[in-house]
Structure 1
């Protein structure tokens, strides 16, 4: 299967967006780890919040997939998934910074 230039560009951009998401997620992991290292009630609340966010995001994305809201082709579905996680990760980075 040959990619057109447009399809190639879309996947290339998606790959870059996913890479940026990974870098930002690493930052959030470091911020959460430093918060946990301080101990106290805040680290327990942060751990519960993290688990709740992950479960909620997974359920929302599964529901979107099953109802067709992620789109009809793999690239659009991937773009929507990356966009959703990017918003969540950026919000966490701002909150924890």
Structure 2
């Protein structure tokens, strides 16, 4: 009975921890300044807008909160991989 809600809670908690990693790496990159920081700032804002639009479309077409969290986690993990590479 509580399975789906517990899974959603766990996935949301995982998203929060993964996002903190990306935030830390982005702040480190932004603190260095220069052209790379500007590109990262623009990328960060555009990614957030696109992710929010994707989430809204998912919900508007009958998708679940679990699907939205899963998609956000996919984006966050991709950002973490990209930022780790430099």
Could you tell me which residue of structure 2 aligns to residue 95 of structure 1?
82
TM-score when normalising by structure 1: 0.82
Aligned ranges 1:5-20 → 2 under 5 Å? 8-20=2-14
Which residue of 50, 57, 62 corresponds with 1:56?
50
Gaps of 5+ in 2: none
Deviations 1:26-84 (A, max 9, x none): 0000000000111100011001001001101111221222232x1xxxxxx11101101
Aligned residues: 84
Gaps of 5+ in 1: 71-76
RMSD across aligned C-alpha pairs, in angstroms? 0.9
TM-score when normalising by structure 2: 0.92
Q: Based on CA coordinates, which of the two structures has the bigger radius of gyration? A: 1
